[in-house]
Amino acid sequence: FFRLSRGEMISEKTKEYIEAAQALGESDIKIIFKEILPNIVHSILVLATLRVGYFIILEASLSFLGLGIQPPTPAWGSMINSGRAFMLTSWWVSTMPGIALLVLVLSINLLGEGLRDILDPRLKLE
């Protein structure tokens, strides 16, 4: 998050409206919170939602391998692993947790993209 924030901050800092705010005598803190932060929050939000999806998949993968959350606590990875032996007769035991995992991660990523579309000031201009 730091690299993205720093890169976006440096990029925004060179824009003309920041120079105009400095010429008007705005303090650095006020420029950061009023001008720069609203213009970079969308990028940070998208990265955060992508990371949430990544960590959900990571937990499910570790649970599938037996290295994640230990039984009796339910985890989608361990549910998929436990149904692996019954794939020919009871395919839904593994398939349904996999589909639920897919839908959850996809919906979190789409939520992040939707929030970016709402919050990105560059998209509001179009």
Q: Which of 73, 103, 76 is nearest to 84 (CA)?
A: 76
CB-CB contact of 48 with 115 (8 Å): no
Residue 56 pLDDT > 90: yes
Q: What is the pLDDT at residue 126?
A: 56
pLDDT in the model for residue 107: 95
Name the 3-class secondary structure at 110. Answer: helix
Q: pLDDT digit string (tens) for 82-119? A: 888 888 888 888 889 999 999 999 999 999 888 888 87
pLDDT mean across residues, the chain: 86
The model carries a pTM of: 0.76
Q: How far apart are CA 9 and CA 7, in angstroms?
A: 5
Helix axes 37-65, 2-13, angle to 10 degrees: 160
- pLDDT in the model for residue 124: 64
| AA identity, residue 110 | L
Residue 71: pLDDT band (50, 70, 90) is: confident
pLDDT digits (tens, 9 = 90+) for 12-36: 888 888 889 888 888 888 888 888 8
More confident residue, 59 or 9: 59
